[in-house]
Amino acid sequence: MPTRVRKAVFPVAGLGTRLLPATKSIPKEMVTIVDRPLIQYAVDEAREAGIEELIFVTGRGKSAIVDYFDQAFELEATLKGKGKSLDVLEPSNAKFGEVVTVRQQQPLGLGHAVWCARHIVGDEPFAVLLPDELMLGKPNCLAQMVEAYERVGGNLVAALEVPDSETHKYGVIDPGATDGPLTEIRGMVEKPAPGTAPSNLMLPGRYILQPSAMRALDAQEKGAGGEIQLTDAMAKLIGNEPFHAYRFDGERYDCGSAAGFVIANIAVALQREDVGPAVREFVAGA
């Protein structure tokens, strides 16, 4: 049996430039989809998948993310005094020891952000979740991946099909044999030039990796955009360890862009019993 995945890394040090000016003072991970910040959705996903330790790789101006998972004693006392339920706050209250933070002092890329968590991850497999990629499914994306990982072991990444015209925006896999939702990975390319992508299967920001990925990142080699790319480090593992892509069953929303953020709000709101009817009425009349 593969070693169980207990830890998850959340790279949350990014500047959120696609959502300026809102992200000038608010971390993009704290912008809300309906009434929950993006980071809450990612943490909920990790918890449902059995993750026990949440590792936030933060940067300057990101303290609100960590504060959010603290208990708000004054707020709780006020709600209690008014006879209101505290259930709405329960998901945002981290258990003791559940949240660990580490600082990424320079924006050197996703690979560098993940590498900053190496001492906390230690010598065990770990998940990586990008919170601005909202993944909705039942069971959720990471839970589906953990189930697949427990069958095949090794390294596993979520995969989604995109139009050929969009492959230059993402990390893309070179696919091998396919078995249901699992596809062997023969190679990876980060943001290939238009017309050169080996497939239209992109990586939407969910990973289960072996500790060898951290050792590959030790080289601190710069790739696309002059940054230390996680895709490049993962590519070094292919052929030495099992490596699969998992086509998850669900929906993905790129909440790092203004259009994706608005679409995600509408999609999530429509699924809610409390706000869905009002939103459907508005959309129908628009």
Share of the chain above pLDDT 70, in %: 100
Supply the CATH number for residue 241's domain: 3.90.550.10
Token couple for 159: 């995969």
- Give the pLDDT of residue 10: 97
Summarize pLDDT for 209-231 with one digit per residue, the tens.
999 999 999 988 887 777 888 98
- Residues in Cβ contact with 146 at an 8 Å cutoff, skipping those fewer than 6 apart: 5, 49, 50, 127, 208
In terms of phi and psi (left: phi > 0; alpha: psi -120 to 50; beta: otherwise), the region of 209 is: beta
Token couple for 28: 């993009």
- Give the pLDDT of residue 201: 92
- Give the pLDDT of residue 123: 94
Number of structural domains the chain divides into? 1
Residue 45 lies in a domain: yes
**SS3 letters across 9-57:** EEECCCCCHHHCCHHHCCCHHHCEECCEEHHHHHHHHHHHCCCCEEEEE
Summarize pLDDT for 139-177 with one digit per residue, the tens.
999 999 999 999 999 999 999 999 988 898 888 999 999
Q: How confident is the model at residue 14 (pLDDT cuts 50, 70, 90)?
A: confident
Strand partners, 129: 206
Residue 225 lies in a domain: yes
Residue 1 lies in a domain: no
Summarize pLDDT for 247-267 with one digit per residue, the tens.
999 999 999 899 999 999 999
pLDDT of 190 higher than 90: no
Residue 100 lies in a domain: yes
133-136 and 251-254 beta bridge pairing: antiparallel
- Give the pLDDT of residue 155: 96
Summarize pLDDT for 37-72 with one digit per residue, the tens.
999 999 999 999 999 999 999 998 899 999 999 999
Q: How confident is the model at residue 1 (pLDDT cuts 50, 70, 90)?
A: confident
Q: What is the DSSP letter of 200?
A: S
In which domain, by residue range, is 78 found?
7-285
d(CA 76, CA 41) in angstroms, rounded, equals 22
CA angle 91, 4, 137 (to 5 degrees): 50
d(CA 183, CA 41) in angstroms, rounded, equals 27
pLDDT of 106 higher than 90: no
Q: How confident is the model at residue 121 (pLDDT cuts 50, 70, 90)?
A: very high
Mean pLDDT, all residues of the chain: 92
